[in-house]
Structure 1
Amino acid sequence: MSKTTRATQMLTKAKIAFTAVTYNYDPSADRIGLQAAEAIGEAPHRVLKTLLAQVDGKPVCMVVPSDREVSMKKLAAAFAGKSAQMMKPADAERVTGYHVGGISPFGQRKKVPTAIEEAALGETHVYINGGQRGLQVRLSPRDAQVVLDAVAASLVAD
């Protein structure tokens, strides 16, 4: 497996400190983020999943803890929209240029507005997909927010 992806190249170019962590990706896992957390031996709230949605018909990206569900109402509010819905997997792959299970918020084919769960910013480090299945990058959540130009918002359901 290559540890060089568009995601890691973006982080390197931006001079963001990160560590690439590989693990055995299980394509049959019900929840990919939770499987990644277990495989690397990290708490699920520190392993963030990257999801694509549409707010008022426009694509957006969100980065949230793998053990939480997104509130569509909160997501729409984070982008000053009225309604939100999850993007179909094929559409998410087309927008990002990554395959489901390997979608990273870093180095996407098309830059879309991004939000990060504000609770994650309190962690010393988080893991976020590195742009391919079985690859996570460990970095500061604040660094991730800066390089993604992401808004911090409460995105998860209560």
Structure 2
Amino acid sequence: MTPAILFLEKQNASFTLHQYECTAQDDFGAHAAEQLQVPLEQVFKTLLTEGEQGAVVALVPSSGKVNLKRLAKAAGVKKLDMMPPAKAERLTGYKVGGISPFAQKKCLTTVVDNSARLHDRILVSGGKRGLSLGVTAELLASLLGAVIADIAE
């Protein structure tokens, strides 16, 4: 049981669990999509960014990358840069490749790419490598107080 799963259960949220053997050292989203046999654009990666106003979480399809200018605008901040992996791990309490948007150590501003609405459910990290959670974009936004915006390229 990860903090992410415990959080969703406490909220009585509707989600699905997807476990797979994770042997990847990078590009964890592509590995998850391949192992779970789902389209790459349905697996969303959790990216941590930082700026003068603090950290912002971006959820974008593993088939693309985050546009930092659009993310900053959606988050209402001036400028954002990618956060170093070690800092992201300390801030969230999760290891890279298993950073879930749910139940992070701190409640951070979160922005979900609008393409999440194109799928009945998207897959996000469940809080450890080899574990994904299937959720709707609306549930994700509701539970995290997230903004949904065009942030991927």
Give the TM-score band, short-chain normalised: over 0.9
Structure 2 equivalent of residue 27 of structure 1: 24
Structure 2 stretches lacking a partner, 5+ long: none
CA contact (8 A) 1:18 1:139 kept: yes
Percent identical residues: 37
> What SS does the aligned partner of 1:10 have?
helix
2:13 to 12, 16, 26: 16
AA partner of residue 5 (structure 1)? T
CA contact (8 A) 1:37 1:47 kept: yes
CA deviations on 1:74-94 (whole Å, 9 max, x unpaired) are 111111122110000000001
Structure 2 equivalent of residue 67 of structure 1: 63
Deviation at 1:99, TM superposition (A): 0.3
| TM-score where L is the length of structure 1 | 0.93
| TM-score where L is the length of structure 2 | 0.96
**Segments of 4+ moved more than 3 angstroms:** none
2:107 to 106, 111, 130: 111
Structure 2 equivalent of residue 96 of structure 1: 92
Residue 125 of structure 2 is aligned to residue 129 of structure 1:
yes
CA contact (8 A) 1:55 1:79 kept: no
Between the two proteins, the alignment pairs up a number of residues equal to 153
> What SS does the aligned partner of 1:63 have?
strand
Deviation at 1:56, TM superposition (A): 3.0
Deviation at 1:57, TM superposition (A): 4.7
1:47 to 43, 49, 52: 43
Cα distance in structure 2, aligned partners of 1:56 and 1:36: 33
RMSD (CA atoms): 1.1
Deviation at 1:27, TM superposition (A): 3.1
2:147 to 131, 140, 151: 151
Deviation at 1:14, TM superposition (A): 1.0
Deviation at 1:19, TM superposition (A): 1.2
